[in-house]
Structure 1
Amino acid sequence: MCSGGCAKCLGISLLPLAVLCVLANILLFFPGGKVAEDSTHISDEVWYFGGILGAGVLMIFPALVFLGLKNNDCCGCCGNKSCGERFAMFSSIIFAAIGFVGAGYCFIISAIAINKGPKCQNQSGNWTYPFNNGDYLGNSTLQQECVNPKDIIPWNLTLFLLLLLMSGVQAVLCAIQAINGLMGTLCGRCKSGCCGGDGPV
């Protein structure tokens, strides 16, 4: 298995996921697809920037590092190219850990937001969180507690669910790269890669 070729495949997969997570988080600033009348009407979890910072910015750096591993031409330690390649693979483990933490942060924030439900205006005219412990999921009677913004429940639920799924995939990919990086550190060069990659690291 070529660790550099596999890392490139993982990097290619992580980049679009990071962009999608950023877009999903941005859309959450528009409850129900409309501009919020007041910033306090937006759910608190949106302001934690799980998709923008965690699964977005923190994920871009590992993705770029993974993409560059296959073409790494480091001179290595004191001119030893093999040593340089092993060090590059070792450094990818650190970036994979950073990406895993970012994805985990987004995953946790999204799970909390789904369980807590959106902030909305109830029938009494107050802006609050009318739901507890995910009891609104699948219960149309409880969902009627939210009267404004219109469609805020499916809007928030869909976007946070997407963030949950995409950050989960990102965490798995980063974990795979951590294992891949460890193998590359221990084994060094190779001839055939996963994802169809051929040639040396």
Structure 2
Amino acid sequence: MCTGHCSRSVGMALIPTAIVCMLANALLLFPDLKYQYLTENHVTREAMWCSGIWASGLLVSLSVLLFGLVCRRSDTILYYFLGYTCLAILAAGLCFMVSGTGLTRGPLCLHNSTDGLKWGRPLKQDKTGSYLYAPERWPSACVEPRRVVIWNMALFSVLMAASGLQLIFCVLHLLTALLESMCRPSFCKNKVQISQL
């Protein structure tokens, strides 16, 4: 089933994206590179879920490792191979969705409200539309942490891009493995022949 070339190529593409996802998610936990926001629970839920670390990071890396192990063995392990690929697809898809939610809901920050300063998500989508298309709202939205809007936008965008690439690579890898298993000589020899009497 595996010539090894496809799995090595996918592995070389997935490992850097997994590292990028883990770093981006770790940075999301420390706005302005300060740990007090994390200890005081002033970090968005989407960052706290750490899907970039455990899903697009560790699970995808584990799948890449298992791709290589399965490809060194016999062709009888097709189902395991497909299972590992599907695991990587699910992990990358989960990270992509969580990152997209974090991006659209905006950062958690100390902001001015009618009751004074309070922690919340002032840029959550409302009647005026998404804050992503209104850059004039960004500088005045949050009092603390400073520049948290740009911080969250940049890092969640990086997470979405990296996990989106992982999805593309894994789906292509799955399709390649399926096509290769169907085009093996043993598959093609299983043709029905009409017997002559």
Normalising TM by the smaller chain, what interval? Answer: 0.7 to 0.9
Tell me which amino acid in the other structure corresponds to 2:130: D
Match of 1:194 in 2: none
The yes-or-no answer on 1:139 pairing with 2:134 is yes
With the length of structure 2 as denominator, give the TM-score of the two structures: 0.82
Equivalent residues in 2 for 1:186-197 (5 A)? 186-188=182-184
Match of 1:48 in 2: 49
Superposed displacement of residue 126, structure 1: 0.3
**Aligned with residue 103 of structure 1, among 89, 92, 102:** 92
Q: Relative to structure 2, which stretch is displaced further, 35-44 or 99-108? A: 35-44
The yes-or-no answer on 1:126 pairing with 2:113 is no
Distance across 1 between alignment mates of 2:61 and 2:2:
22
Match of 2:60 in 1: 59
Match of 2:20 in 1: 20
**Aligned with residue 154 of structure 1, among 150, 153, 166:** 150
Distance across 2 between alignment mates of 1:3 and 1:178:
14
> Of the two structures, which has the highest relative contact order with CA contacts closer than 8 Å and spacing of 6 or more?
1
> Residues 89 and 7 from structure 1, CA distance in 2 versus in 1: closer, same or farther, beyond 3 angstroms?
farther
Q: Secondary structure at the match of 1:158?
A: helix
Distance across 1 between alignment mates of 2:61 and 2:165:
14
Tell me which amino acid in the other structure corresponds to 1:135: S
Identity of aligned residues (%): 29
Distance across 2 between alignment mates of 1:102 and 1:13:
16
Larger Rg: 2
With the length of structure 1 as denominator, give the TM-score of the two structures: 0.80
Task: Quote the RMSD (CA, aligned, Å).
Answer: 2.0
Uncovered stretches (5+) of structure 2, i.e. residues with no partner? 186-197
> Residues 173 and 140 from structure 1, CA distance in 2 versus in 1: closer, same or farther, beyond 3 angstroms?
closer
